[in-house]
Chains A and B, each alone.
Chain A
């Protein structure tokens, strides 16, 4: 019995390793996903400590304003020949234009106009634009107050309301949200890597017309399904480990200290992430084998399984956009539980053993249900013809 099972696993693995398309698509993901995260973290790490750069045109018309901006830590530079083009191309975030008649208006007490050339559709420029606007308003308010004082009026009359914005966000928090994606990608590694093996093992057999000869052998359908499933799970495990290793290497290369915190992706943390994500490889294999067993063709199986990849992505996506409060029931929901556990782990919080057992247990229970359903599908006469 064991020899037969091993023969099935061996054959599926051999077939899978020789399938260049399967291997390529399985392992391009673990390579590229961590690089994507590393890139996002890196841009976050380098952006925060950059001083604001501001190009200025006609700075000689307003020497006081220029001095004020410099005192506020803005790095001023001369605007290029064609400031409009520089803005459109995204080379510059903001160009401040001070017209020639600024000085005259200013002296006469008329509102002196300055122009900010911006491109509000440039997402990355928004924070720079806001900063410049705030600084200019501050300067304007400052001058206005001085003028009122010179005329013996209390400037406080001009400010019936003062607004103090208490910004709770900081780079650490933004980066911490990215952490949620780390665990998501590791989980996705399992799903992506087992995908082709699972399709080949069921829908592929039928499309190739090798299913009927295979089913005639004196092997129980349960052994057959379990063997095919184990091969898919093996690929899933490789996907988890591979994604994790590339992730650790990529994130290790980023100067996260500039964000004022460190992601402790030590070998120990890596091992814990593996323990958390590992039960999802059996689940991924079972789910995909089930889908590939009731679909009629390779293409159809590929379509449905690709769609099912959104399942492991959902909890991570939602959590990285909007942090949710962890509640006890979440540990009993496969995929969500791993996401919650991983987030806790990467934030340095303790994980209760019970919660881990609950997460792994519920995941393996669902795996068993999928496997049972696949065996049932394999046992039906209609399996041969690929209907329903």
Chain B
């Protein structure tokens, strides 16, 4: 379970996040929907502890990120916006490195890596150096290394950004499977259709604040509109920066 409580963050005089509060349940997909620059990435970074909130807190399975960063991260898998791999290491070596950083090793680690290679259908590229991988192949390696420690909670920052159609379909498939495993999945997106297709709960963020939260049906009812797009306009006043 992931919880954000009154998150506030300013960089110098720019206030990136003003008030973000929400809860993401296990076995559910929670989508953070908002235009570019609304504060989604900064909120995500506060959830996985790379940015310290000025006010408020984030917790993973009840462990406050600010109090026990290492402990909170053990049950958290993150696919950040930046997906850089090590080009001189093979796909397997890239995944293995992150596994070892999670204190896994030996046969247990190799078994887990093989399971991930199965799940993501990437045995063919496992022993190749990642230099020259396609965007889809890079994404698979990045997912595998984020999931190597089998985390109960998963954060994905704009996971379909820059992916082609096939990779996007595969990514949605994966997100559904994570949910079916009973994990808590939070992903951010500025693509309304994607959020609508995947999410059990939608958290609408605009200008650094949560302006509405609930299932798609609840949001439509609150805004008294027929489509998510119309609802979004009614809730935030514009669709600028959304797709």
Query: A interface vs B, CB < 8 Å?
Result: 3-4, 7-8, 11, 14-15, 18-19, 205, 208-220, 381, 384
Contacts and interface: CB of A to CB of B under 8 A. Distances in A.
Given A4-B103, A11-B97, A216 B80 contact: yes
Interface stretch (B85-93, B161-169, B199-207, B230-238): B85-93
Contacts of A384: 50
Q: Which residue, of B86, B87, B142, has the highest number of chain A Cβ atoms within 10 A?
A: B86
B57 interface: no
A209 B100 CA distance: 20
Contacts of B86: 11, 15, 208, 210
B73 A209 contact: no
B74 interface: yes
A293 to B, nearest CB: 16
Contact of A216 (B50, B89, B93): B50
Nearest to A208: B84
Q: Is the interface of A mostly helix, strand, loop or mixed?
A: helix
Contacts of B100: 3-4, 7
B87 A208 contact: yes
A3 B51 CA distance: 27
Contacts of A220: 70
Interface residues on B, range: 20 to 34
B183 interface: no
B110 to A, nearest CB: 14
B83 A7 contact: no
Interface of B: 48-52, 69-71, 73-74, 78, 80-89, 93, 97-98, 100-103, 105, 142, 145-146
Q: Is the interface of B mostly helix, strand, loop or mixed?
A: loop
A210 B85 contact: yes
A220 B83 CA distance: 21
A217 B101 contact: yes
A387 to B, nearest CB: 11
A14 B97 CA distance: 11
A338 to B, nearest CB: 33
Contacts of B102: 217-218
Q: Which residue, of A11, A213, A381, has the highest number of chain B Cβ atoms within 10 A?
A: A213
B82 A4 contact: no
B101 A215 contact: no
10 contacts: A11-B93, A14-B89, A18-B89, A209-B82, A210-B84, A212-B50, A217-B73, A218-B71, A218-B74, A384-B50
A218 B72 CA distance: 8
B80 A213 contact: yes
B93 A211 contact: no
Contacts of A211: 82, 84
A18 B129 CA distance: 11
Nearest to B76: A216
A212 B155 CA distance: 14
B172 to A, nearest CB: 22
B70 A218 contact: yes
A52 B164 CA distance: 79
Contacts of A209: 82-84
Given A216-B80, A218-B101, A220-B70, A19 B50 contact: no
Contact of A215 (B50, B83, B85, B97): B50
A7 B83 CA distance: 21
A14 B88 CA distance: 8
B89 A213 contact: no
B156 to A, nearest CB: 12
Given A3-B103, A7-B101, A11-B97, A213 B83 contact: yes
Given A213-B146, A218-B73, A218-B101, 10 more contacts: A4-B100, A14-B89, A15-B86, A208-B87, A209-B83, A210-B85, A211-B84, A217-B98, A218-B69, A219-B70
A14 B87 CA distance: 12
A105 B86 CA distance: 85
Contacts of A208: 84-87
A107 to B, nearest CB: 85
A11 B89 contact: yes
Given A209-B84, A211-B82, A218-B73, A14 B93 contact: yes
A15 B48 CA distance: 27
A381 B145 contact: no
B95 to A, nearest CB: 12
Contacts of B83: 209, 213
A9 to B, nearest CB: 11
A212 B88 CA distance: 18
B114 to A, nearest CB: 19
Contact of A381 (B51, B69, B78, B98): B51
A17 to B, nearest CB: 9
B84 A213 contact: yes
A197 to B, nearest CB: 12
Nearest to B98: A217
B99 to A, nearest CB: 9
Nearest to A213: B80
